[in-house]
Amino acid sequence: MNEEPTFAPSPAEARAALAEVDLVLAQTRHAIRQGISAPLLILWGCLWIVADLTTQFHPQAMAWLWWVLDLVGIVGWVLIFKLHGQRMKSPRGWRYGAAWGILFFYAILWVNLLVPVDWPQTNDQWNAFEPVFRRITAYFHTVPMFAYVIGGLWLDPFFIWLGAIVTALIVLGFCFVHEYFYLWLAVTGGGALVVSGVFIKKFWK
Amino acid sequence: MPELDKIIHSPARLRIMAALVALESGSALDFSTLGKMLALTDGNLGAHLQTLEDAGYVKIEKTFIARKPRTFLRVTARGRGRFEEHVEALREICRV
């Protein structure tokens, strides 16, 4: 056990104690956010990478892969919040999970309403549909980034930057990288989310 | 004039209180998560927490999650107030 310090600290000792308090406060807030943000970012990123690479190179497979990715996303989201609940209990913590759940539901709802029930099965059908799907995809990818920017106003500026930069990359790709847009999304969008998640997990301790 | 708190003044207890005060009011942190965050052994953390609980600064709650025992820690309103006063007293010393 640590030795008890003298009870009349000098200004230098008081400054050191305050610096320690500030450090622990910052570390704890980062650790709490890291615990839930890092796995969510990695999950989002991996789903994007799989969906976008498939759309780029084998779009017909997305007819069934949508449902698999939706399921993986929902199960992953539930598991992440369940595990987080074993480390921390918060009277208002459910709102964070609910916010992500509502956002996820909103995005899934509109993608499924905007995308035709009969997914293109031939190259001709895909080529005719692709320009519309590109717009839907660009929009769909900016929804969680929009949430990161808004959430960052309360949580941490890191998320504002992350959301803004990835949104800018999506818009850039949408305007200038037509032929390999989905590959661009996989690398810049999904890749950025995975790298951010790993970065937070490694350094926000 | 804010006063220093003898119980909180110990470096380990100051860090424990800072970590728990960083949580949203009413929130609780798991014992092993706190130990890892502060790099304290279970025995060391347990002893300091007992002192803080005896002073009424921390509430220790034992529960079961998926049939496994878990200990959650939360700072009390009294503990939060004493911690803030202690930090303010440290700031006063720095201003001298």
Cβ contacts of B15 on chain A, cutoff 8 Å: 20-21, 24
Cβ contacts of B14 on chain A, cutoff 8 Å: 17, 20-21
In a domain, B1, yes or no: no
Nearest chain B residue (CA) to A22: B18
Is B45 exposed, middle or buried (CB count within 10 Å of its CB: 0-12, 13-18, 19+)? buried
CB contact under 8 A, A20 and B6: no
- Measured between alpha carbons, how far is A144 from A44 in angstroms, rounded to an integer? 9
Q: What is the pLDDT of residues A15-71, one digit of tens each?
A: 999 999 999 998 888 888 777 888 988 998 999 999 999 999 999 998 888 889 989
CB pairs under 8 A between A and B: 94
CB contact under 8 A, B90 and A7: no
CA-angle at B28, arms to B54 and A203, nearest 5°: 115
* A121–B contact, CB cutoff 8 A: no
Predicted-complex ipTM score: 0.89
CB A37 within 8 A of CB A197: yes
Q: What is the pLDDT of residues B18-76, one digit of tens each?
A: 999 999 888 999 999 999 999 999 999 999 999 999 999 999 999 887 788 889 999 99
For chain B, what is the domain count? Answer: 1
* CATH number of the CATH domain containing B77: 1.10.10.10
CB A54 within 8 A of CB A63: no
* A32–B contact, CB cutoff 8 A: yes
Domain that holds residue B76: 6-95
